[in-house]
Chain A
Amino acid sequence: QKEVEQNSGPLSVPEGAIASLNCTYSDRGSQSFFWYRQYSGKSPELIMFIYSNGDKEDGRFTAQLNKASQYVSLLIRDSQPSDSATYLCAVNILKDNFNKFYFGSGTKLNVKP
């Protein structure tokens, strides 16, 4: 079983709509949760992180964490064509006495003008 699972998409939304990206994780020892945005040919950019159950909002982005369901989501409000990218979900787990990051396979988001 993979540590992090994401739907590969593509997820297509019209400009101005809400994009909802989802991620599940398998290890209940996961401590921290992250969303990275990656444009084609570029490196991943950290856009949101969340440590506690509930919602965390930053501008148009809201990260949601439900540890009981082992579920993390990212909502993008008022989606723009510039939001079109691959979104990687990552979790941080203490293994071998060290914090390791595990990435999902990414969800490709297309925002249509």
Chain B
Amino acid sequence: DTEVTQTPKHLVMGMTNKKSLKCEQHMGHRAMYWYKQKAKKPPELMFVYSYEKLSINESVPSRFSPECPNSSLLNLHLHALQPEDSALYLCASGVASGKYEQYFGPGTRLTVT
């Protein structure tokens, strides 16, 4: 089973709202990722958690705040976003080291108004 789930599928929020994106995997993977993807562009890495610890933060603005409550769950908290933050947000999971594959969830389509 290579399933990664994400909720919600679509989200529309105003610039003053606070919302959260959720991701879950049950493959026993110990690395989880958040990516942002704009139209006709490749996925852009935002954050990586390894063994529930934040390992990589690719200089993402503080209005994005990740959280990894346990090895199966990953959240992305959103606050005071800008219209240019509208994008497809992808969660992925993989083994934490060695040669391995990375599997994506279906994504959350975020629109900031």
With a CB–CB cut-off of 8 A, which chain A residues contact B100? 32, 92, 99
Give the Cβ gap from A113 to chain B, nearest Cβ, in Å. Answer: 24
Task: Choose among B90, B99, B107 the residue that contacts A31 (Cβ–Cβ < 8 A).
Answer: B99
10 further contact pairs, Cβ within 8 A, besides A42-B106, A88-B42, A103-B43: A42-B107, A43-B106, A44-B90, A44-B104, A46-B2, A98-B55, A98-B56, A99-B94, A99-B97, A100-B48
Q: Which single residue of chain A is at the shortest CB-CB distance from B105?
A: A43
**CB distance A46 to B99 under 8 Å?**
no
The CA-CA distance from A45 to B101 in the complex, in Å, is 11
How many of chain A's residues have a CB under 8 angstroms from any CB in B? Answer: 24
Task: Choose among B41, B43, B94 the residue that contacts A44 (Cβ–Cβ < 8 A).
Answer: B43
Inter-chain contact total with CB atoms closer than 8 Å: 57
Give the Cβ gap from A98 to chain B, nearest Cβ, in Å. Answer: 5
A34 interface hit (Cβ, 8 Å): yes
- Please list 10 pairs of residues, one from A and one from B, whose beta carbons are closer than 8 Å in the complex, sorted by A's number: A32-B101, A43-B90, A44-B43, A44-B90, A46-B103, A49-B101, A92-B102, A98-B50, A99-B96, A99-B97
With a CB–CB cut-off of 8 A, which chain B residues contact A71? none
B68 interface hit (Cβ, 8 Å): no
Give the Cβ gap from B88 to chain A, nearest Cβ, in Å. Answer: 7
Asked whether A51 and B99 contact (CB < 8 A) given A96-B56, A98-B56, A104-B42, the answer is yes
**CB distance B90 to A92 under 8 Å?**
no
Q: Which single residue of chain A is at the shortest CB-CB distance from B90?
A: A43
Chain A residues 23 to 51 lying within 8 A of chain B, measured CB to CB, are: 31-32, 34, 36, 41-46, 49, 51
